[in-house]
Structure formats: C-alpha cells, structure tokens
Structure 1
C-alpha cells in the first residue's frame, strides 16, 4: 500500500505543481486585477492606408474590448461595422490582421489596391468607438454581436500606416478564476506531498485471550477505514471533483459567447447624427450663400440640389455684380429624421424641418452618402406648404417588391405622368391622376400667362412648354404603406422666332447664360424642378404633389 500512496501522491503533487504554475502565471502575469488579458504591444506596419482586423477575429460578444494604438505620426484607432469599414477602405491597399498566435503575434495579409489618401476618418459618424491624435490613443467597447473591425491608420488618411497596436479583452471574474485555479493547485500539491511524506503509524497488535468459541472478524485491509489512506483518497477525490466543478462554473461565467447574429443592415444614421448633419449644413450653406461659393456647396450638396445652387449663384453674380442682394441667413429648424435600414452604400435618410425665415413652409430633404468615406450631402430639397400633410418620418424604409406592388403607380410612371400633366396644363388628360399642391397651381397659371403674352409678340410665332422626367426617382415607404417619392423634372420653355426676325436676351436671369446673342430660329429657357410626391396604395385615392420647386439653369437659342 505504501507504493500506491507514493504513486498517488506523486501524481497529485505533479498535477498541483502544474496547476499552481498555470494559475500563478495567468493571475499575476497574463491577467492582473483588471480582469484583462491582452496581446501586449505589437508592431504593425503597412505601406497601405490602414491596418484592419478581419471580422472573424472579433467573433465573440459580451466582454469589453480595449484597443490602444500609437505611431510616429498622429494616429487614428476606431471600431466600426464591417459594412462601413469595407466601404471606407474600398479598393485601397491596407494590411489585414487575420489571427492572433501564441505567443502573441499577429498573422497578416497585404490587401492590394490604390494609395489615394482617404478622407480623415475622425470626421465620419459611423464609428462605434474612435480616438484620434498624437501619442497613444485608446478606446474601449462592449463587444456586440455582429461583424465588427478594428482599424488603425494615420489620422490624416494618408498611406504608410506604422502603428503599435494592443488588443485587450476584459472578462469579468477572470482574475478571480485564475486565483481559484492557483489555490486549487496549491491544495493538490499539498495533498500530494502529504501522501508521499507522511507515514501512517500502525497501532500495536491487540492481545486476544484464548476463547475456544471465538470467531475472528472478517478480514479488513489496513488503512481501508475512514481514517486510512483509501479514505483520504476518497476525500481528496471528492474535494478535487468539487474544485473542478467550481472552476468550471466560475470559468463559464467569464467565457464570452460566440457571435451568432451577423446583421447585414443598419439604420443609415442615428437621430443625433442626422441632426448633426443638418446643423453642419446650416452653417456651411449660409457661408456659401454669402460668397456664392459653389466649391463649398459641393461639400454639402449633390445633384439635383447642387445644380440648382450653382445656377442660382451664376445668376446672382450676373444680375447683382455689386454683391448687395445676398440670400439672408436661414436655418432648418427642429429636424425630424427618417432613417431607413441599408445593407450597402449609397445610404440615404430623409429630414422634415421647419424653415427659420418662412413659418408658412417646411423643408423636406434627402441626404445621401455615396460611400462610407464621403460626407452626407443634400441631394433632393423641396419646400411644401406648412399646411400640407407629410408622411410620418418614423419607420421610414426602402421599398421591396411587395411594397411597390401595392402602390397605385410605380414611381417612374408617376414621374412620367406628372411630366405629361405639367406639359399639357390643367386640361391635360393626366391631370385627373394628381392632387396638385398650391405651388403646382401657381406654376401652371404662370406658364399659361407667359404663353399668352409671348405669342402676342410680333417676333414670336409659337410657344411650347415641355417637361421631362430626368434620372431615377428616389422612393421610400412610410409606416402607412404610402410611397414618398422624390424626383427631378427638366423643363424647356421654347419660343419659335418668326421667319425674318431675330431675338436675344437683354435682361433678367436668362442673361446669366446668354446675353445679347442674336437668334433667328428659337429662344429657350431651361428649368430644373424638384418634386416630392405621395403615391397611395391601390384604391386609396390620387397621387398627392407635396411640392414642386424650380430653378432656371440655362437659356439660349438657335
């Protein structure tokens, strides 16, 4: 039995020594009292524009991720959804971190692409967490279920990222678990040594008086009782089993769950970020208006709104050369944000706002981001009357086929029919499809008067006014199932010159595009109109024109 005790003690002592060393190393070297295990500072260099982790590297959720980055240049470090990060880097060259080996070292892959500098990342609003500047930059993030990436790059978006990156994961209770392992190892080590070194003292043999009828007790091996070596082994076994169960239970609390959800869509913008976009627009738009700076407008607007703005500035410089007749500063107030879900870029959101200098109207606009690295720009902008009923912004979504099948008219058809209606005037067969806005009625009446006046001129033979749909309508579905449609129409107001006569533009906005150039066949004025429609579901009435807002964008003749 002594051999069995020595053998068992040796096994327990060796196991206890290994567990003790592992627990001590984990508790006092790898983890520490902050419950965080990290990679240590790892040098990562890329001749490309960024260092980016693969989404599979962050395949757990629940714990807190700590990221620290530093570099020779001011550095940016951020965490974002893979949907946005992939769009931001696009076809750029960068270094991709694939996995972490032990001892800590990153396996990387060079992704080939272009080296054109990107827009500085700190100014983009889709980062889940971010930090930027000189020296060490640190962020912390409670890891969520989904596809996320860590990105480190030069703060100015230029190539040649040379960073030192540390990734750490904070697991609640990890340090305590390591201490329990350390303590369990000490217990096993002590028990093993006890079995090997302590010899059991045998009691003296009892004196048994001779009794003829005496029957000896059943044979019982030495040490098999509760206080013998086998009893000790049983107690150690029970204790070890309990310790293992405790360690398992304790450890499981801190083990992060593997990601199961990989959402492929997200809201185009948060309410707060959407309001920040409108605030930025208010500031830069007023500045651009005061100097008629089309370059500045390009940073906050996209076509067709930008085309109208450029034309307005050109007309202003022509007919107000002294610069005295400037647009008075105004702002869009109390913006209500409608942010649909998107799975790819471009992304869009809708804003309904008040107008500071016109309480009788509202502004209804579409903001678009072409890719994750570009700013939000105002692409469509109309001004419905404050009395118009607008669709609710809450739960606004992009349409699917089932939504389109329920509408009384497809957006493209609605736009073409609207063009026919405006070209034909109030007597057009298509007029019965629409409920006109006050601005629509004003436009049609104005064009009818202009036609009547122009044909009275001796040098004008006939006048035509033609509207056409341009580009693709942008459609959203409201919570009521209606379609909110934004579209653009071009209009050419054409005057045919009488044979033998000539005509030219001598005054007014048209002279910004053609001044004192004689034409013998035609004169024309070109307009760009932005329109917002509400297309009802089948059987729920006519298409409502919320607003139509035009701008002269050209003039000339032949």
Structure 2
C-alpha cells in the first residue's frame, strides 16, 4: 500500500506542478491584471488603402476586443459591419487578413483594385467604433454576433499603410481564474507531496494476554484495518483536486460562436446619425443659398432636388445680379426618421420635419447614399401642408412583392395617371382617381388661367401643357400598410406661334435660360416637379405635395 500511495502522490504532484505553472503563466504573462490576452505588437502593411480582417475571423461574441495601431503618420483604426466595410473598400486595393493563429501568426491576401485615395474614414458615420490621429490609436469593443471587420488605414484615406498593430481579447474574470488555477495547482502539488513523504503512524497493538500452554500453540495474526478505510484519504484528496479543477476552469465561459454568418441587413441610419445628417444639411444648405454655390450644394443634394437647386440659383443670378435679394436662412426642425433595413447599397432613409420659417408646412425628404464611402444626399424634397396627414415614419420599410400586391394601384400606374390628370386639368377623367392636395389644385388653377391669358396674345395660336412621369417611382411601406411614393414629373408648357410671327423671351425667370432669341414656331417653359403620394390599402391615393421649379426655357 505504501508503494501505491507514493505512485499516486507522485502523479498528483506532477499534475499539480503542471497546473501551477499553467496558472502562473496565464496570470502573470499571458493575461495580467487587465484580463486581456493580446498578440503583442505586430507589423501589418499594405501597398493599398487598408488592412482589413475577413468577417469570419471574428467568429465568436461576448468578450471585449481591443485593437491598438500606430504608424509614422496619422492612423485610423475602426470596426464596422461587413456590409459597410465591403462597400467602402470594394473597388480599392487593400490587404485582407484571412487567417489568424495564436499567438500572432497572420495570413494575408492582397485584394486588387484602385489605389486612389478614399474618403477619409473618420468622416464616415457608420463605424461601430473608431479612432484616428497621430501616435497610438486604441479602440475597445464588446464583440456582438454578426459580420464585422477590423480596419487599419491612414487617417487621410491615402494608400500605403504601414502600421504596428496589437490585437487583444479581454475575458472578464480571466486573471482571477488564472489565480484560482494557480492555487488549485498548488493544492494538488502539496497533496501529492503529502502522499509521497508523509509517514503513516502505526496503531499500538493491544496487550498480549497471558496464555496458557494450550493457548500458546495458536498463532497470533497482526491487526489489519478494514479495506474501506485504507483509501479514504486518497479518495478525499483526489475528489478535492477534481472539484477545484472543475470550479476554476468553469469560471470563464467559452465565448459563444456567431450564428449570423449570412448577409445581414441593417437600418440605413440610426436615429442619432439621421438627425446629424439633417443638422449638417441645414448648415451647408444655408451657406450654399447665401452664395448661390451649386458646387457646395452638390455635397448635400442629389437629383432631382439638386437640379431644382441649380435652376433656382441660375434664375436668382439673372434676376438679382447684385445679390441683394438674400435667401433667409432656415432649418429643418424636429426631424422624424424613417430608416428601412438594407442588405446592400444604395441605402435611403426618409425624414419628416418642421420648417423654421414656415410653421404651416412640413418638409418630407429622402436622403440617399450610393455606397459606404459617399455622403448622404437629399434627393427628394417636398413640402406638404401641416394639415396633411403623413404616413408614420417609425417602422418604414422597403416594399416586397406581397406589399405591392395589397395596394389598390401600383406606384408606376399612379404616376402615369397623375401625369395624365395634371395634363388634362381639373376636368380630366383621371382626376377622380386622386385626393388632390392644395398645391395640386393651385397648380392646375394657375395653369388654366395662364392658358387663357396666353391665348389672347395675337402671336400665339394654341397653348399645350404636358406632364410626364420621369424615371421610376421610389416607394416605401409604412407601418400602417400605406405606400409612401416619391415621383418626379416633367412639364412642358408650350405656346405655339402663329404662322408668319416670331416671339422671344424678354423678361422674367425664363430669360435665365433663353433671352432675346427669336423663335418662329413655339416657345416653351420646362418645369421639374417633385411629388409625394400616399397610397392606402383601400381608397384613392392622396397627393401629399407637388413642388415644381422652372428648370429651362427656349423655343423652336
């Protein structure tokens, strides 16, 4: 039995020694008091514009990821969803980290593409976490389920990245667990040594009775303890060691494996980011209006809104060359954001807001981003009266086939019918298909009056006013099932000239596009209208607003 105790004690001591060394190494070399296991500083370089991790490298969530980067020039380090990062770097040359082996082996793949500078990454709003500047830049992020990428770039978006990068994983309680493992190892070690070297005290034998000569002939047998009591100490030591190991190794749970491996969707913007976009628009738009700077407007607007803005500036410069008629600054107030989910770019969101200079109206606009590296641009913008009921912004989504099937009329058909209604006037048969807005009524009244007045001119034979649908309608589905539809209509107001006469534009806004040029067949004014419709599940589409701008004039 002594031999068995020594062998078991030796085995227990060896296990304890190994556990002790492992706990000490983990506590004081690998993890440390900050609970972070890191790779140490590693050199990562790219001839392209970035070093980016493949989304499947971050395949578990729960712990906190730490990334620190430094370079000879200002550096950017950020974490973003793969849907954004892939769009941002999609056509660029960059280096992708495709494999990582502990402690610090990186396998990379060079991705071909353009090496022209990108938009400075720090200016983009979709990063989950980011840091940029000179010297060391650090970020920390509790890893969540999904497809995310770590990106290291030059802060100005230029090619040629050469950075020192450290990756670390913070495991809550890891340092304490390592200390417990260390303690457990010491217990095993001392328990093994105790079994090996402790001497067992022999129990004193009972007194030998005085025997008779007859009894002396019977052999005397030594005392043997019961077998069940022999191994009690060994079993108790082994059980204690096992319990300690189970408790200590269970203190830190294994991070949960990601399940969102497929392409995921995300809202176009968060509420805060959408409000920030509107705030930036307010600032830049007022600057552009003050100087009539169409180039500045290009940074915040896209067509058809940009086309209307350009035309308006051109007219203003013609009619007010001295620049005395300043546009009063205004802002969009209290924006309500409707942000549908998208799985790819382009992305869009809708905003309904007040107008600081017009409390009786609201602004309803669509902001669009073509790719992750481009700015948000206001593409559609209309101004429905405050009394007009708008579809709710919360829960706004892009339509699917089932949504379209529930509508009484498709948006494309509604746009075509609306163009016919406006072309034919208030008495057109298509007028019965819509609930008109005050703006639509005013427009038709104004055009009918203009036709009568223009027909009185001796040099004009007839007047024709034609509206046409331009492009595809942009449709969203509200939480109440209504379709919110944005349309663009073109209008040509045409005055046919009497044979033998000629005519030309001599004054007014039209002279910004054609002035003192004589025409013998016709004169025309060209308008661009933006329209918003609400198509309910039942009933007629409501014209929420129609807002036009003269964008051209001429003749033939």
State the TM bucket, normalised to the shorter chain.
over 0.9
Question: How far off its partner does 1:140 sit?
Answer: 1.4
Q: Distance in 2 between matches of 1:244 and 1:545?
A: 72
CA distance in 1, matches of 2:220, 2:173: 54
Task: Tell me the residue number matched to 2:157.
Answer: 157
Q: Deviation per CA, 1:216-239: give whole Å up to 9, x if none.
A: 99998679564x5x3332122111
Displacement of 1:70? 1.1
**1:225 & 1:445 partners in 2: Cα distance?**
109
* Distance in structure 2 (CA, Å) of the matches to 1:224 and 1:207: 24
Instruction: Provide the rounded CA distance (Å) in 1 between the counterparts of 2:413 and 2:128.
Output: 41
Per the TM alignment, residue 197 of structure 1 is displaced from its structure 2 partner at its CA by 3.1
Is residue 255 of structure 2 the alignment partner of residue 256 of structure 1?
Answer: yes
Q: Which residue of 2 aligns with 1:5?
A: 5
Matches within 5 A, 1:76-475: 76-202=76-202, 208-209=208-209, 210=211, 224=227, 226=229, 228=230, 230-252=231-253, 255-262=254-261, 264-475=264-475
CA distance in 1, matches of 2:17, 2:168: 28
In the other structure, the counterpart of 1:542 is: 540
What's the offset of the Cα at 1:244? Answer: 2.4
Q: Which range is displaced more, 232-241 or 434-443?
A: 232-241
For 1:378 and 1:219, locate their aligned partners in 2 and report how far apart those are by CA, in whole Å: 102
Moved more, 287-296 or 448-457: 448-457
TM-score, normalised by the number of residues in structure 1 = 0.95
Give the Cα separation in 2 of the matches to 1:433 and 1:27: 76
SS at match of 2:472: strand
**How many residues get paired?**
552
Aligned-pair CA distance for 1:203: 5.1
Deviation per residue, 1:297-353 (Å, 9 max, x gap): 000000000000011111111121111112111111111111111111111111111
Cα distance in 2 between the residues matched to 1:217 and 1:361: 116
Moved more, 453-462 or 380-389: 453-462
Moved more, 193-202 or 295-304: 193-202
Q: Distance in 2 between matches of 1:296 and 1:71?
A: 34
Shift of residue 84, structure 1, vs aligned partner: 1.0
The Cα of 1:251 is off from its aligned counterpart by: 3.1
Separation (CA, whole Å) in 2 of partners of 1:374 and 1:39: 34
Once the two structures are overlaid, the 10-residue window that deviates more, 327-336 or 278-287, is: 327-336
1:365–1:4 CA distance, 2 compared to 1 (3 A): same
Q: CA deviation at 1:139?
A: 1.3
Contact 1:64 1:142 in 2 (8 A): yes
Which stretch has the larger CA shift, 271-280 or 163-172? 163-172
The alignment yields a C-alpha RMSD, in angstroms, of 2.0
Mapped contact 1:224–1:231 kept (Cα < 8 A): no
Partner of 1:69: 69
Q: Which moved more, 1:483-492 or 1:88-97?
A: 88-97
For the Cα contact (< 8 Å) 1:339–1:350, is it kept in 2? yes
Larger displacement relative to structure 2 (171-180 or 257-266): 257-266
Question: Secondary structure of 1:399's partner?
Answer: coil
CA deviation string 1:512-540 (max 9, x = no partner)? 11111111112111110000000111xx2
Cα displacement string for residues 377-422 of structure 1 (whole angstroms, at most 9, x for unaligned residues) = 1000001111111111111111111111111111111101100000
C-alpha contact 1:42 1:105 (8 A) present in aligned 2: no
Alpha-carbon displacement from aligned partner over 1:15-58 (angstroms, at most 9, x marks no partner): 22211111100000111111111111111001111111122221
Q: Distance in 2 between matches of 1:56 and 1:180?
A: 33
Matched residue, 2:514? 514
Q: Which position in structure 1 is the counterpart of 2:30?
A: 30
- How far did 1:476 drift? 0.9
Checking the alignment, whether the CA contact within 8 Å between 2:187 and 2:241 is kept in structure 1 is no
Instruction: Kindly provide the CA deviation profile for residues 415-446 of structure 1, in whole angstroms up to 9, marking residues without a partner as x.
Output: 01100000111111111001111111111111
Give the TM-score taking structure 2 as reference length. 0.95
Residues 483 and 536 in structure 1, CA contact (< 8 A), matched pair in contact too: yes
Report the CA distance shift for 1:529/1:217 in structure 2 as closer, same or farther (over 3 A).
farther
The verdict on how the C-alpha distance between 1:506 and 1:219 changes in structure 2, with shifts beyond 3 A counting, is farther
User: CA separation of 1:64/1:219 partners in 2, compared to 1, >3 Å: closer, same or farther?
Assistant: farther
